Structure 1
């Protein structure tokens, strides 16, 4: 066994090199494609080909045909409105592509009777995987031999309490080993693992229904049926004013007639309302981004604005699952004595100040450290054990008092 990995002795040999190559050739590896359900082309198409852009673009083309490009400046509303939507949704796509529950790291596997470390993406189906304390489980597996393994499955289930795993139990990718070690056989990798399934569900694109945009589109649909005959009527009236089509074409007055007709029609389209709505959505999305909130689509801001109450589940899934030190409550017979409370608080700090404190110990160190407490002199230490359910320290003062009491006692005959 490779002693540098500090792992227990086992009889299992694991996969051979030829079996690993066969799994890699068949695609049974732990590599996961980080793509969303919405491509860049879909985002561009959804923001470019809208009813509003179609109406404004058609009007701009008519004006450009006349050669009066200065009168077609209103067409920049298309670029601004489309650009806001594309940029915002591309940022959301980039964030989703990077979204992953699993942390990329190296893991110990047993192959050909030897323990070796490989990247998480190189783990294959059927590998014998060592799950060690402090590591995240990279793939679904079944425990073959457990040496006190306890897992934190809060990221998957929302339950913050650790779960002890015995031989034969199933472990899922995304959970974290908080203590112990285990040898497990991988039975699901890559896109078939539990964590990859959760990540894929988070990346699924769902069309947001915006009542505000729905109302604007209803107005635009009504205007479409009204604008076309109105535009024809305005052009016809302009032609009659200049003496008919032949006279308008001969004198070039047809250009001004079309520009005037388009100006009358465009003035009826709520361009400012559409642009103002997009700008408000974009500003709201940027503010939410500063709060680490992902906005996949601009219209989802309106949905959030209609929320009256937000319910969160148990600690661990939406929240970070951390704990904080609040206060130390003294027993009634000791309450009110500042010296005793200060000594007890210092003792609590020293008890938690181990080489590798657990989550509770680290919370105590952080909380008391902010209140000015520092490590005191510790002469001896008995680490915490779940079997005896206590830990202890010996301070120089306590040791001196014990030695003094022992000196005062008469020798036993």
Structure 2
């Protein structure tokens, strides 16, 4: 509402004296009433709170049960391993927590530490925290805005609001009243807390402090947005609950069977508890954590830093990437791409150095920016200097040849600047600015053969060219000149000018962006642009990168506000560009995609992006240009600020999920084999084929290294990226997973019972352990023969197989272990027989080559 008031009305509304400011007593009274101009701290968690949060997980509860059972069985080594797993998971989780708190801390650092304020008619420097609503504040270049202000007066004031609004260029400010209901990015008479003043000076009156500022509202949204579990965490949670039920049922059922058959109750109790432990793959949480951690290490090599481990896997199921424009899809650097002169629009690549000398020299001379090791000045002026350099002009030499004698600085209301230069025996004025203004001041137009009068038809033709360039998303600047200046005044300089031409510039898309968008589309991933920039500019970039093909696929934040929820949901299917949006809009868009069942990744670099980064399943911040607020709110950071890096990260995410699924199916099918072995023996009235210590030993050699080796397997990334994203509702056992688990469980149980029939407990113990090692080799790719696999790609599997075999040899050949496990020594012939029997799962893998392709999520037959 403050933007609609005149300075006089504003001071009256806020009970402030424009000339003298607030009195010291009144300021203190308002400070006591409204509180300090600071952002509230996020609710801090103690270390114990974070530990409890990590422990409150079904799989962790199961591990505690397993540890307790191991203590009862005096298997202290297993107890130590299980507790180490719990400690590892908890430690990693605690380290990854606290994103909102860190984001709030970064927001606090962004607020200005001090301000120049007028009180009792005197300017004084005070801590920004003590500013109150109604204070009159002085602003100048290089300062941060200390609170939200309505401007009372400006002198060439330009403010960088990109971090807050997403607009790519500094915003020229005005003190004039504006119409109501404008988005924050278009309130040119307002400046906002934390934004940097690029040039000029001004004075404004405080309209909001602390959490009431635009920055404070964003801080509030960061606190309100709550994180949700990733698809993998949900699946593992469901699995944990299922396994806990299975463990309890197995314990009770086996114990009751023992009672019915009048077996030794103590022996049956120990056996039932051991079987319950066998049903729980205690190595699974450790395997998942280590696989994700190794994935994080690999992703650093593709310029990606992961701040939250589960985010690695979630990348593999992303169906929508919502991307910011500036600095992510684009280079974050304005560049001249086209010139208009001599009645034609030419791409810069076709312009020769001496073709339009007045136009090119004028843009370089009427320019206050500087190139060098550090570029200084306005982004559009720097683009003009780069253009001159590219065309072979030496700007310093040009200034020496035509020294400046007078200047009218850029004025945001009149939208032009002028500079006068000595040219031989006379002076020439160059005027650069908005095309409409320059055209009004031109009486002539420069053509190839000389100058002609500016007719109405010629003026219309120039306007049509300007509109054509604008439709391509170009920011257009015009240049005019006049020789033989007589009067160095605004009226004397800006009249009877000769129109020289126009330059069209844009923040161009990165070279790799279009190909990355194409690859993501082939992988079934939608790409949507969400930006605070203008609709035409956003669409121009979206069209060049392949994100959108028509303006019908674009919508503004204002249009979005006018829609009902149902209309918005229906239109979302076609919209690919969201322009002129606020931070609240960004969160709404992300949440709408998520309610539609999509897994959403959101990229951003500014403060305005932080709430939506947290609201998304995967928040992706820019490492170079990103603010600390955005980085702390994100799950992952792109160190090269390049959109194409997301594609590489997705490849890694999909591969990691495939590997985790391999490990889970291997562990569950192996453990199911142990369960069936014991149950079948008891049901058939046979002696128990395995002791409790045998089951725990087999779990030790199979639940660790082989499962981990599967977790770091190398997959065909290209093939994975040709598939559609995984359905977030899809379970771990989709595409034949349950059938696979049951089949191999019964197969392992069958050969174990056959071994028991042939040679007793030692035979059964050996086959149960070694068959799972062979099973792990086949699990590398259940759709490919072992003879076509490159086994050297996974040396960890070779190591896990050899080490597991050595450990099994140890318990049958070393006397002390033979005694401890109650086994008997085996001859070479017996080992040959047992190895052949144990290889049956691998043989079945070759015979069946099950076509379900459940591991890679490929859409071949479903159960």
Query: Per the alignment, in what secondary structure is the counterpart of residue 32 of structure 1?
Result: coil
Question: 2:76 aligned with 1:69, yes or no?
Answer: yes
Query: Per the alignment, in what secondary structure is the counterpart of residue 126 of structure 1?
Result: coil
Shift of 1:232: 5.1
Q: Is the 8 A contact 2:136 2:203 kept in 1?
A: yes
Query: Per the alignment, in what secondary structure is the counterpart of residue 81 of structure 1?
Result: helix
Q: Is the 8 A contact 1:324 1:363 kept in 2?
A: yes
Query: Residues 388 and 160 of structure 1: is their aligned pair in 2 closer, same or farther, counting only changes over 3 Å?
Result: closer
**Tell me, which stretches of 5 or more residues in structure 1 are unaligned?**
1-9, 249-253, 407-413
Question: 2:285 aligned with 1:274, yes or no?
Answer: yes
Partner of 1:380: 404
Partner of 1:165: 174
Shift of 1:388: 8.0
Which of residues 93, 97, 100 in structure 1 aligns to 2:104?
Answer: 97
Distance 1:135 1:227 in 2: 65
Partner of 2:321: 310
Q: Is the 8 A contact 2:104 2:219 kept in 1?
A: no
Q: Deviations over 1:38-65 (max 9, x none)?
A: 7655533221121111111122123224
Distance 1:127 1:15 in 2: 6
Which of residues 91, 111, 124 in structure 2 aligns to 1:116?
Answer: 124
Query: Residues 306 and 192 of structure 1: is their aligned pair in 2 closer, same or farther, counting only changes over 3 Å?
Result: same
Pick 1 or 2: higher relative contact order, CA cutoff 8 A, min separation 6: 1
Q: Is the 8 A contact 1:81 1:278 kept in 2?
A: yes
Q: Deviations over 1:257-307 (max 9, x none)?
A: 74x655433332234443333344455667489968785x54455544333
Query: Residues 177 and 141 of structure 1: is their aligned pair in 2 closer, same or farther, counting only changes over 3 Å?
Result: same
Distance 1:177 1:319 in 2: 26
Which of residues 14, 17, 21 in structure 1 aligns to 2:24?
Answer: 17
Q: Is the 8 A contact 1:350 1:375 kept in 2?
A: no
Query: Residues 399 and 284 of structure 1: is their aligned pair in 2 closer, same or farther, counting only changes over 3 Å?
Result: farther
Distance 1:103 1:292 in 2: 29
Shift of 1:115: 0.8
Q: Is the 8 A contact 1:110 1:129 kept in 2?
A: yes
Question: 2:398 aligned with 1:391, yes or no?
Answer: no
Query: Per the alignment, in what secondary structure is the counterpart of residue 107 of structure 2?
Result: coil
Question: 2:92 aligned with 1:84, yes or no?
Answer: yes
Partner of 1:222: 242
Query: Residues 39 and 265 of structure 1: is their aligned pair in 2 closer, same or farther, counting only changes over 3 Å?
Result: same
Shift of 1:138: 2.4
- The aligned length equals 381
Q: Is the 8 A contact 1:37 1:205 kept in 2?
A: no
Partner of 1:193: 213
Distance 1:351 1:323 in 2: 20
Q: Is the 8 A contact 1:28 1:125 kept in 2?
A: no
Q: Deviations over 1:365-399 (max 9, x none)?
A: 4676699856324322544544483534637xx43
Distance 1:336 1:176 in 2: 36
Query: Residues 132 and 289 of structure 1: is their aligned pair in 2 closer, same or farther, counting only changes over 3 Å?
Result: farther
Query: Residues 16 and 194 of structure 1: is their aligned pair in 2 closer, same or farther, counting only changes over 3 Å?
Result: same
Question: 2:91 aligned with 1:53, yes or no?
Answer: no
Distance 1:292 1:117 in 2: 43
Query: Per the alignment, in what secondary structure is the counterpart of residue 137 of structure 2?
Result: strand
Query: Residues 285 and 95 of structure 1: is their aligned pair in 2 closer, same or farther, counting only changes over 3 Å?
Result: farther
Q: Is the 8 A contact 1:173 1:194 kept in 2?
A: yes
Query: Residues 64 and 273 of structure 1: is their aligned pair in 2 closer, same or farther, counting only changes over 3 Å?
Result: closer
Query: Residues 289 and 200 of structure 1: is their aligned pair in 2 closer, same or farther, counting only changes over 3 Å?
Result: farther
Q: Is the 8 A contact 2:211 2:219 kept in 1?
A: no
Question: 2:276 aligned with 1:265, yes or no?
Answer: yes
Shift of 1:109: 0.7
Query: Per the alignment, in what secondary structure is the counterpart of residue 424 of structure 2?
Result: helix
**Tell me, which stretches of 5 or more residues in structure 2 are unaligned?**
1-16, 179-188, 371-375, 428-483, 485-863
Distance 2:306 2:202 in 1: 37
Distance 2:142 2:416 in 1: 22
Distance 1:163 1:392 in 2: 20
Q: Is the 8 A contact 2:156 2:172 kept in 1?
A: no
Query: Residues 99 and 223 of structure 1: is their aligned pair in 2 closer, same or farther, counting only changes over 3 Å?
Result: same
Distance 1:40 1:289 in 2: 32
Query: Per the alignment, in what secondary structure is the counterpart of residue 40 of structure 2?
Result: coil
Q: Deviations over 1:135-191 (max 9, x none)?
A: 343222333445555555444444456354325566252455455443332232111
Query: Residues 111 and 322 of structure 1: is their aligned pair in 2 closer, same or farther, counting only changes over 3 Å?
Result: farther
Partner of 1:352: 367
Question: Higher mean Cα deviation, 221-230 or 275-284?
Answer: 275-284
Which of residues 125, 139, 148 in structure 1 aligns to 2:147?
Answer: 139
Query: Per the alignment, in what secondary structure is the counterpart of residue 187 of structure 1?
Result: strand
Distance 2:386 2:64 in 1: 61
Partner of 1:4: none
- TM alignment of 1:236-247, pairs within 5 A: 244=264
Shift of 1:30: 0.8
Q: Is the 8 A contact 1:99 1:199 kept in 2?
A: no
Question: Higher mean Cα deviation, 303-312 or 49-58?
Answer: 303-312
TM-score (normalizing by structure 1): 0.71
Distance 1:273 1:68 in 2: 19
Distance 1:147 1:59 in 2: 73
Shift of 1:357: 3.1
